[in-house]
Structure 1
Amino acid sequence: MERPAAALSRGLAEQVEAVCKHYLSNGCRSGNYWTVGDVNNHAGRSLYVRLKGPLSGKGARGNWVDSATSQYGDLLDLIAARENLRSFRETLNEARRFLKQPRIEPPTRSNERFSDRDTIATARRIWAASRPIQGTPAEAYLRARKITADLDVTSLRYHPALFYRECPGASSRKLPALIAVVTNHRGEITGMHRTFLDPTRNDKASVPTPRRSLGAILGNGVRFGIIDDVVLVGEGIETVLSLKSALPYLPIVAALSAGHLAAWEFPPGLRRLIVACDNDAAGWRAARRLSERAEVLGIGATTITSLRSDFNSDLRGMSSEGFQRRLAAMLGSDLRTGNIEKNK
């Protein structure tokens, strides 16, 4: 017989979007997720709740994580945190109360509800419709951020007119975008990352969420270089390309967020991991979690932390020589040859 807590958790998962609309009303749907600032229902995009998947187990709908605080759990945990409930019994009672409420779901257009397979297929279609980055506003945007890394890579492209909509139901418009392809360790496309660009200047678009991901991102990443036994992993595209500018011989991966950094999957044969940590609480927690996971598997882990908010801020705020000297001091490496000490 199913335990009461498991039955309630399953019932909440069956109504996951209604749960989100009730307890996290300041959020909105974004692809397969409901995004909001935190468990206290502040506006933002740090916390995301899975809207698609099985009713239980790995990847279940209703599972959530806050990349800023590293909090996570299922919908019972979310209700307990949101309502500041003091006991498990109170949490179960609140779940029972919610599930008995009549709920009227607004009609949803079929193209607003995607399965994982649908979002991956959409990501692949957008990638196929994009063009090489060389000579485009996407390249100009990266160069304006002092990134000198070789951009003749297979992981970046440019789309001149990609639809941008803040939330389902809102009006949309077309914006140029830097496109980065997300792949797994087998080289299969599992998703993509979009940085919407300003049409008139070399900067991000002046919209609430200029950076967005689509598809299966968790455990995967945007790859620059072929991973052998050493890899550097960071959060954002600009961060890892800043490091690639100083470390051209080192394979580097962008996990795309703090939460995804902590959950990045290690490839077979990896011996040394370098974690590029953004200088904030979410970055520190994610770096620590990833390093702990690596060390359990016998993978040597080193963390480097930016002086400013991230490594692109460092690159833009100091000379190229100063940036390289600081990295060399942290890594114990010869940046001219790419000879990273594997036993450090």
Structure 2
Amino acid sequence: MARLDASDLAQRLGRQAEAVCRHYLDAGRRQGNYWQVGDIRNTPGRSMFVRLKDSPKGRAGKFTDAATGEHGDLLDVIRESLGLVDFADVAEEARRFLSLPHPEPEPPPRMHARAPAQTGSSEAARRLFAMSQPISGTIAETYLRKRGITALHGTGNLRFHPRCYYRPDDDSPTETWPALIAAVTDLSVQITGAHRTWLVPDGSDKAPIDTPRKAMGDLLGHAVRFGIPGDVMAAGEGIESVLSVREIVPGMAAAAALSAAHLAAILFPDTLRRLYIVRDDDPAGDGAMVTLIERANAAGIEAITLSPTCQDFNEDIRQLGIDTLRANVRVQLAPQDVARFLSAAA
């Protein structure tokens, strides 16, 4: 994401005003087109109002505290709710928040229940993600750590659902299993789909079912994204393979397209100048790599392939260890990216 000034950041936060309030002012609640809370420091109460939509009275994200007369925007909310002092820290937190996927705001409550979302639709994906919880301390985190994945910064698009529905086919009964839920997002970080990895109850492995991984929603061109995209990023097929590479280059943004076909069609951020293709060592992975290199070069983007020693990078980290994986990735990076991205342990 390009660096933004205060006005740009405030406007972008305003477009996700309800999500900002739910995150930083969670002691409050929605009342019509406003978020109502005690004060800017997230005290329970009803004195402060944050406008959630643009109106003739003002822009979304503007707030007024009726008790004190204090007013401002969502950058002020982030500063005060977290106790930050320097604007650089406020801006960095705002950019971090904007890089996370956020479900579309809920409409104001109605007297009747919402209609069920169509099975497999983008709306169903958004509802599933909204019903899930952060992975910290859950068996989803246990599962990832057992797969050698410990660098979980910037993974707000991964969540956990304790009883996620699974149905093998139309004629089979519905089961429930714990699941790692991943949000699939477009370039504006809006959720278009979701990916489910069903797990055994202790998080030690995937669930013993025929298809333990399934995606839903609008996937073409989109991906499960980690970190804020800039001029360099990595893209691959599987979530675990991409996160394994991110263990070695923790500061590099990355995206998991979920399949070879979708990797070949992934959309590029406007800021991108160099793309690392995290390939799987199989015919489908080779085909995706060739297509993606052609598309990247046509867009003026340098494409560099990262190849695993085993079939994929998660197998590398589990079978060969992180030191061998680091050495393998290091020699494949552009020289200028070794110092910029390679983890300090290298």
State the TM-score, normalized to the length of structure 1: 0.63
1:272 corresponds, among 263, 271, 274, to 274
Deviation (angstroms), 1:330: 0.8
* Matched letter for residue 225 of structure 1: G
1:231 corresponds, among 225, 230, 233, to 233
Which position in structure 2 is the counterpart of 1:181? Answer: 183
Task: Judge conservation of contact 1:112–1:168 (CA < 8 Å) in 2.
Answer: no
Which position in structure 1 is the counterpart of 2:244? Answer: 242
Q: Distance in 2 between matches of 1:335 and 1:206?
A: 40
Deviation (angstroms), 1:200: 3.9
Which position in structure 2 is the counterpart of 1:197? Answer: 199
User: Within the alignment, does 1:307 sit opposite 2:306 as a pair?
Assistant: no
Task: Judge conservation of contact 2:159–2:180 (CA < 8 Å) in 1.
Answer: yes
Q: Distance in 2 between matches of 1:157 and 1:272?
A: 29
Q: Mean alpha-carbon deviation: is it higher for 213-222 or for 150-159?
A: 150-159
Task: Judge conservation of contact 2:197–2:206 (CA < 8 Å) in 1.
Answer: yes
Which position in structure 1 is the counterpart of 2:165? Answer: 163
Q: Distance in 1 between matches of 2:117 and 2:193?
A: 17
Q: Distance in 2 between matches of 1:303 and 1:326?
A: 12
1:171 and 1:135, CA in 2 relative to 1: closer, same or farther beyond 3 A? same
2:331 corresponds, among 322, 329, 332, to 329
* Matched letter for residue 157 of structure 2: S
Aligned-partner SS, 1:265: coil
Q: Mean alpha-carbon deviation: is it higher for 329-338 or for 150-159?
A: 329-338
Aligned-partner SS, 2:169: coil
Task: Judge conservation of contact 1:133–1:151 (CA < 8 Å) in 2.
Answer: no
Deviation (angstroms), 1:150: 2.2
Q: Distance in 2 between matches of 1:271 and 1:338?
A: 15
Task: Judge conservation of contact 2:249–2:342 (CA < 8 Å) in 1.
Answer: no
Task: Judge conservation of contact 1:196–1:204 (CA < 8 Å) in 2.
Answer: yes
Deviation (angstroms), 1:321: 1.5
Deviation (angstroms), 1:148: 1.9
Cα deviation digits, residues 149-183 of structure 1 (max 9, x gap): 12562110000001100112311110000001010
Q: Which runs of 5+ in 1 are unaligned?
A: 1-109
The alignment covers a number of residue pairs equal to 228
Which position in structure 2 is the counterpart of 1:58? Answer: none
Task: Judge conservation of contact 2:117–2:123 (CA < 8 Å) in 1.
Answer: no
- Note the 1:40-51 alignment, pairs <5 A: none
State the TM-score, normalized to the length of structure 2: 0.63
Q: Mean alpha-carbon deviation: is it higher for 273-282 or for 118-127?
A: 118-127
Aligned-partner SS, 1:293: helix
User: Within the alignment, does 1:213 sit opposite 2:215 as a pair?
Assistant: yes
Cα deviation digits, residues 264-309 of structure 1 (max 9, x gap): 1112131111101000000011111111111111111011111111
* Matched letter for residue 143 of structure 2: Y
- Note the 1:52-71 alignment, pairs <5 A: none
Aligned-partner SS, 1:246: coil
Q: Distance in 1 between matches of 2:296 and 2:165?
A: 39
- Indicate the percent of aligned positions where both proteins have the same amino acid: 43
Deviation (angstroms), 1:122: 0.5
1:140 and 1:336, CA in 2 relative to 1: closer, same or farther beyond 3 A? farther
Aligned-partner SS, 2:332: helix
1:134 and 1:200, CA in 2 relative to 1: closer, same or farther beyond 3 A? closer
1:142 and 1:336, CA in 2 relative to 1: closer, same or farther beyond 3 A? farther
* Matched letter for residue 338 of structure 1: F
